[in-house]
């Protein structure tokens, strides 16, 4: 087995890592990792709602037809599909609501008296083509539920183009593993990050997890049900395996909010859910060794 090289860096408020098993010169590895970190930084600068200069914050002041990058349209298309399949439970227009709840630029974690409702996706955003959307009212988009996974996919595509055959892009729990040799990954216990509730083998796929134990304040965590303006408490953690990290990332959030069978009617993925009673529900194809 080739010896792995690993590079870690900070991005999007979390720790990222890039692992490469290919036998490449040290200088090539350094160039690849430097480029990967730069691409993540540029992605964050463009799409983070916590950066006043970002495209996301700029769009929050606009209406009408606007020219946007293809990547944003791709993320919004995925969000639109998840919104439709979940009957509105998955909604990326929660930005202003999260701000009002205290999950804002300053991370004040102090909610205001009146929380703005989450706008209906189809009533506010119309996707025109690959580089244009129509904003029917000002809205603060939060692409957090798919964005980190999408950034993982961008790095995957970049490394594929470089000809690498075995690598792991780890966006702090949102991962894509390229390789025919299986890679074992743990299902982190939501209440104790030093433990795992199971182990799964990955091959040429994405694997994403979500839990309510991080970014928690008051009665909230980072997942908000737009219909009730509350954070789901009946689920502790979710894990999703899919062909892309953007899809797995979005689904890991979506199955906090709706029955996964509503999503499996049109999307290919496998899942595992740990509820508040520590009972596990998983799809037939989620082949993991449970502890």
Q: What is the pLDDT of residues 48-98, one digit of tens each?
A: 999 999 999 999 999 999 999 999 999 999 999 999 999 999 999 999 999
pLDDT at 106 exceeding the cut of 90: no
**CA 50, CA 91: separation in Å to the nearest integer?**
18
**CA 109, CA 202: separation in Å to the nearest integer?**
37
Q: Are 80 and 143 in contact (CB under 8 A)?
A: no
pLDDT of residue 193: 85
* pLDDT confidence bin for 291, thresholds 50/70/90: confident
Q: What is the pLDDT of residues 204-223, one digit of tens each?
A: 999 999 997 777 788 888 89
* pLDDT confidence bin for 192, thresholds 50/70/90: confident
pLDDT of residue 190: 87
pLDDT at 1 exceeding the cut of 60: no
- Structural domains present in the chain: 5-20+166-290 (3.10.520.10)
Mean pLDDT over 16-41 rounds to 97
DSSP state of 217: B
pLDDT at 140 exceeding the cut of 90: yes
Local structure of 232: helix, strand or coil:
coil
Beta partners for residue 184, in sequence order:
201
pLDDT of residue 133: 98
pLDDT of residue 2: 66
pLDDT of residue 109: 87
Beta partners for residue 280, in sequence order:
274
pLDDT of residue 28: 96
**CA 160, CA 106: separation in Å to the nearest integer?**
37
pTM of the predicted model as reported, rounded to 2 decimal places: 0.95
């Amino acid at each position: 087995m080739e010896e792995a090289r690993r590079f870690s860096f900070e991005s999007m408020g979390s720790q990222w890592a890039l692992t490469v098993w290919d036998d490449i010169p040290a200088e090539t590895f350094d160039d690849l990792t430097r480029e990967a970190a730069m691409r993540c930084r540029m992605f964050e600068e463009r799409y983070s709602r916590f950066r006043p200069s970002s495209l996301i914050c700029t769009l929050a002041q606009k209406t009408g037809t606007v020219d946007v990058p293809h990547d944003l349209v791709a993320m919004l298309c995925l969000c639109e599909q998840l919104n439709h399949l979940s009957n509105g439970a998955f909604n990326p227009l929660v930005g202003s609501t999260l701000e009002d709840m205290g999950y804002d630029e300053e991370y004040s974690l102090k909610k205001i008296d009146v929380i703005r409702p989450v706008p209906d996706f189809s009533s506010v955003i119309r996707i025109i083509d690959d580089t244009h959307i129509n904003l029917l009212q000002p809205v603060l988009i939060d692409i957090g539920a798919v964005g980190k996974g999408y950034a993982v996919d961008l790095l995957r595509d970049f490394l594929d183009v470089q000809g690498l055959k075995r690598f792991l892009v780890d966006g702090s729990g949102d991962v894509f593993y390229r390789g025919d040799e299986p890679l074992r990954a743990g299902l982190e216990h939501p209440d104790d990050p030093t433990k795992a509730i199971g182990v799964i083998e990955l091959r040429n796929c994405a694997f994403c997890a979500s839990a309510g134990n991080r970014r928690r304040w008051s009665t909230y965590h980072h997942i908000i049900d737009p219909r009730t303006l509350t954070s789901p408490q009946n689920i502790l953690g979710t894990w999703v395996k899919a062909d892309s990290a953007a899809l797995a990332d979005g689904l890991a959030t979506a199955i906090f909010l709706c029955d996964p069978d509503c999503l499996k009617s049109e999307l290919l993925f496998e899942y595992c859910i740990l509820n508040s009673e520590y009972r596990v529900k998983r799809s037939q194809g989620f082949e993991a060794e449970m502890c």
